[in-house]
Amino acid sequence: MVTVIINGKKYQAEEGRKLLQVALDNGIEIPHLCYHENLSSYGGCRLCLVELAGRKKSSLVTSCTLPVSEGLEVKTDTPQVKKARRLVMEMILPQAPDSLRIRVLARELGVSAVSFPSEGDGCIRCGLCVRACEELVGAGAISFASRGSARTVEPPFAEEPESCIGCGTCVVICPTDCIKMEERDDERKIIRWKRTLKMKSCVRCGRPFLPLAMVDVITRRSTSPPPGERLELCPDCR
């Protein structure tokens, strides 16, 4: 364990743990959109900027990528930090102007109007869906494409990704809700990726409840005991 100082107060933390998580664990709120404790750090949204203390010049770093070490001292609410976060939010808001979470966060940061043109596709390029698909699901069905302002997330060659199993992890983890999923009859569609999957039906009630591609992956990856009724019965019938 090491001692870190946040806003003048000392905290004990596991060495190497990301500063953002240490702050959150201790009830210190730092705005963030691209961070998840179970995924690799990316530092893409840059909302979690903090100021390193004890420096001659102001030094702002992303707290989600900063590993804590003995004696590390940071400040999370200095004028420089607040100004930088507002500027970042002014660039994020036009990308997802219809997202409730983004609008609420923007208001908390003092951003209501922006001078940047609205892109309006909902994606803020946080990379959560890309990392979750690769690191949690193991599918790697989507990735970043292009660079700069043209940077986007899409399946390989912008075609329907055969490696997508329709688990919906990307839908759940997206901070702006721009990845939509719908189920109709015996099909599930991940609309943003143009992915359509057939569903397995419950052997008891007949209700479709799980993509067949997901059933196949679970079966292949499962060790003893076998999945059993989890793959035959819907949650309501188990």
Rg (CA), the chain: 21
Residue partners of 187: CB distance under 8 A and separation at least 6: 196, 197, 198, 199, 208
Q: Are residues 135 and 227 in the same domain?
A: yes
Nearest to 28 by CA among 54, 50, 59: 50
The CA distances from residue 36 to 24, 106, 168, 187, in Å, are: 12, 20, 16, 30
Q: Are residues 132 and 223 in the same domain?
A: yes
- 7 and 23 in contact (C-beta within 8 Å)? no
Q: Are residues 8 and 68 in the same domain?
A: yes
Alpha-carbon distance of 125 to 85, in angstroms, equals 17
Last residue of a domain, one of 53, 84, 115: 84
Last residue of a domain, one of 25, 53, 84: 84
Burial class (CB in 10 A: 0-12, 13-18, 19+), 73: middle
Nearest to 183 by CA among 198, 172, 162, 203: 198
Q: How many domains does the chain have?
A: 2
* 161 inside domain: yes
CATH number of the domain where residue 76 is located:
3.10.20.740
Q: Are residues 144 and 224 in the same domain?
A: yes
Alpha-carbon distance of 182 to 196, in angstroms, equals 10
Alpha-carbon distance of 18 to 68, in angstroms, equals 6
Nearest to 71 by CA among 4, 165, 116: 4
Q: Which residues of the chain have pLDDT under 50?
A: none
* 182 inside domain: yes
* 159 inside domain: yes
* 122 inside domain: no
Instruction: Read off the pLDDT of residues 162-184 as tens digits, 9 standing for 90 and up.
Output: 999 999 999 999 999 999 999 99
Expressed as residue numbers, the domain containing 179 is 128-231
* 70 inside domain: yes
pTM of the model: 0.91
Last residue of a domain, one of 55, 84, 113: 84
* 96 inside domain: no
Instruction: Report which secondary-structure segment, H or E, holds 15.
Output: none
